[in-house]
Structure 1
């Protein structure tokens, strides 16, 4: 007697009045509840149509494989073998996991030790750099000139505030100074001087009030008068990377991390060794007292050119390539190898803004309007004009087309003429304020290293690739 639904012997059998088939009670009741029909005949079927069958309780037989003692022993042996194999596999996995964990812990411990050692060496190097002494006439009494790398001197902070207040007050309404060169003067200027530089491998140019200085990679400095005659020459003893005027003296940066100050006649006044790598940029504050140097060692340093002392140092996260002060002096910008331009507060050394050029920054210069600065790279062409008042891509106010990579930028005091020098020559870009438009006013096909404006933008001084010094201006 088997259930017509499950095909098994029912535990509680019932029979249908309609079809006479035998069912397991719980199964047929569920079927009727869902379908209301006899599963055999398909007729309508209710629970009242089911009759219980009175019979002895059915005992399910055991599966044939377990009906004997040998079969049971065989089953137990199979289960034991499976358990033994699984235990062995788990042991192997545990051993491998322990080995991997031990290796990872050893590597972690080694990495922690290396990091601790490098951090210690870095701190020791910074401490040693901060204790470098300054040599020169100012230290003739033998007193060491220690670096204060934590706080900016109060007297210099007051100078920065006074300079900013004085220079920014009349900027917006300031007219072009009387006697300043006009567009005709710049566009029609002729070559009025040409000389071969006595500084081989000429790399930098500084134009002062009365004299012009040229430096070479071998450490030579040649000083010229306004007439183009060489009046002095001397050697600083190290390859020169940068040169600026700190009237009436000349400041040189070297590949050995030195900043040296000389008179125009070649007398050394001071020598600072604050950078662990090459000095890549120098800039003089508009107040005429603070000198800024940046280096490949990721640091920038302030010097007091009056007292000939190092007064402030700050480290950054990138190798620095060039620098420039804002015309008001309360800010300065540095370029990096990664292509960023970081703007810092002069008094605190804190970062105020970051702009992206996209390539290693070779030169940057602020406009006298107070809110623009130009930047270029010696790896890619074109000059980008940035607006300090904006952020991100919106800060890129204009991109000026050039004939090649950019080595040098110089904006005149009237903020009209931007001189761009590079291997493709020198170009003067003119900004027309009334129409807010840019135009190329003059092009000189002399491959150049540097180009600087002279007095009242009436002369343009060019340092050529071939160690030649050229001056363009009105013929006399």
Structure 2
């Protein structure tokens, strides 16, 4: 396992210019980012990393005892088309009122829980949607981002005052399917990875490619990405590959990996950084094992296996750094640090594909291949 993250450093300071004892110095940039983009990344990182250690869950955020009581409260059936059927991707606004879903039917839906209506059906992808994200911008309209096996990333924008949604950017350039993306915490950039062994950084304002990160010569193993995730401070980006590796990059440096982790013996199909920045969860849909890496030591902190018949489609830390959701054959919620199982939900008619804690963690929204959104919460 090669690495350039300092073994004894917190992840947010991993790219310090001078190496301490036991650390390995980062390589220098070969194709530098523009001054504007570098400033966006550096200022965002500085602002977020300086408060991360002291950050606590938002006032009123749910706790483990509350989550243990979660049961299914409501369902939203019959979303997306029946042929082919299935919600393949999910994101939900922090207040829990708006959901963005991607489907096997190649469309993206915007659903309003308050009115109980689908506000938009966005068409343009030519193959099933792999991932979606909702971007809520201060003082500006909301954006939805989607990627697909059709090799594109699309950015959709909401009209003024909640008007009609429309395509804003069609991001192309990859020769293989786009397997995942992550929105930078500045909300001004998006990074997307592909099975063509590259990942790219895009400018959300103009839709232009900022930089493309190619596979490195002399590096053993594959760079064909099957999943992708970004560190909450915006510097580190991780791509899971088809041979079970996790490639961790410093977004400012295209010349060397920050770390390379051996995760699974099968393609890594889901990755998630914890909000505290120290952990990385990984899974494969061909292996019912969850692994948690400690990024300060670049070792597996813990791992556990679900029943052999279980399939895992997504692992995801919540924004309070308290919980990890694991969905696939069923849905499970684990407590961060102790990794105790708090909730198991299996009253679903098809594989589950996504889970999002919303409304200060008081609700958990699930999406599934049975074309249904489910909302779990404590009994009223």
Residue in structure 1 matched with residue 155 of structure 2 by the alignment? 261
1:11-57 Cα deviation digits (max 9, x unpaired) = xxxxxxxxxxxxxxxxxxxxxxxxxxxxxxxxxxxxxxxxxxxxxxx
1:191-250 Cα deviation digits (max 9, x unpaired) = 222112432332111112441111112222221123343222232241222212233111
Residue in structure 2 matched with residue 466 of structure 1 by the alignment? 370
Alpha-carbon separation, structure 1, partners of 2:227 and 2:133: 13
8 Å CA contact 1:151–1:312 kept in 2: the answer is: no
The one of 278, 291, 298 aligned to 2:177:
278
Residue in structure 2 matched with residue 300 of structure 1 by the alignment? 199
1:374-421 Cα deviation digits (max 9, x unpaired) = 001101012100011124xxx000113323232111111221110000
Alpha-carbon separation, structure 2, partners of 1:193 and 1:236: 30
8 Å CA contact 1:360–1:379 kept in 2: the answer is: yes
Task: Give the TM-score, by structure 1 length.
Answer: 0.64
Change in Cα spacing, 1:199 to 1:151, as seen in structure 2 (3 Å) is farther
SS in 2 for 1:156: helix
Alpha-carbon separation, structure 1, partners of 2:79 and 2:59: 36
Residue in structure 1 matched with residue 267 of structure 2 by the alignment? 360
User: Which runs of no fewer than 5 residues in structure 1 stay unpaired?
Assistant: 1-148
SS in 1 for 2:367: strand
Which deviates the most, 186-195 or 276-285?
186-195
8 Å CA contact 1:383–1:400 kept in 2: the answer is: yes
The one of 234, 238, 261 aligned to 2:126:
238
Residue in structure 2 matched with residue 217 of structure 1 by the alignment? 104
Residue in structure 1 matched with residue 242 of structure 2 by the alignment? 337
Task: Give the TM-score, by structure 2 length.
Answer: 0.80
**2:190 aligned with 1:291, yes or no?**
yes
1:281-327 Cα deviation digits (max 9, x unpaired) = 01101111110111111110111112322211111252101111111
8 Å CA contact 1:256–1:276 kept in 2: the answer is: no
8 Å CA contact 1:419–1:429 kept in 2: the answer is: yes
8 Å CA contact 2:153–2:178 kept in 1: the answer is: yes
Alpha-carbon separation, structure 2, partners of 1:455 and 1:356: 36
Query: Displacement, 1:164?
Result: 1.3
**2:72 aligned with 1:185, yes or no?**
no
Query: Displacement, 1:185?
Result: 2.4
Show the 5 A alignment for 1:48-67: none
Whose helix fraction is larger, Structure 1's or Structure 2's? 1
8 Å CA contact 1:383–1:401 kept in 2: the answer is: yes
SS in 1 for 2:38: helix
8 Å CA contact 1:150–1:313 kept in 2: the answer is: no
Change in Cα spacing, 1:367 to 1:293, as seen in structure 2 (3 Å) is same
Query: Displacement, 1:341?
Result: 0.5
8 Å CA contact 1:382–1:405 kept in 2: the answer is: no
**2:46 aligned with 1:165, yes or no?**
yes
Residue in structure 2 matched with residue 19 of structure 1 by the alignment? none
**2:321 aligned with 1:415, yes or no?**
yes
Structure number with the bigger relative contact order (C-alpha 8 A, sep ≥ 6) is 2
The one of 32, 35, 42 aligned to 1:154:
35
Alpha-carbon separation, structure 1, partners of 2:125 and 2:226: 22
8 Å CA contact 2:125–2:148 kept in 1: the answer is: no
What is the aligned-residue RMSD (CA, Å)?
1.8
SS in 2 for 1:438: coil
Residue in structure 1 matched with residue 11 of structure 2 by the alignment? none
Query: Displacement, 1:340?
Result: 0.4
Structure whose alpha-carbon radius of gyration is higher: 1
Query: Displacement, 1:475?
Result: 5.1
Alpha-carbon separation, structure 2, partners of 1:468 and 1:276: 32
The one of 331, 339, 362 aligned to 1:426:
331
Query: Displacement, 1:255?
Result: 1.6
8 Å CA contact 1:418–1:429 kept in 2: the answer is: yes
In the alignment of these two chains, the number of paired residues is 320
User: Structure 1 runs of 4+ off > 6 angstroms?
Assistant: none
Query: Displacement, 1:426?
Result: 0.3
SS in 1 for 2:67: helix
Alpha-carbon separation, structure 1, partners of 2:271 and 2:197: 17
Which deviates the most, 317-326 or 447-456?
447-456
Query: Displacement, 1:153?
Result: 2.0
Alpha-carbon separation, structure 2, partners of 1:321 and 1:194: 30
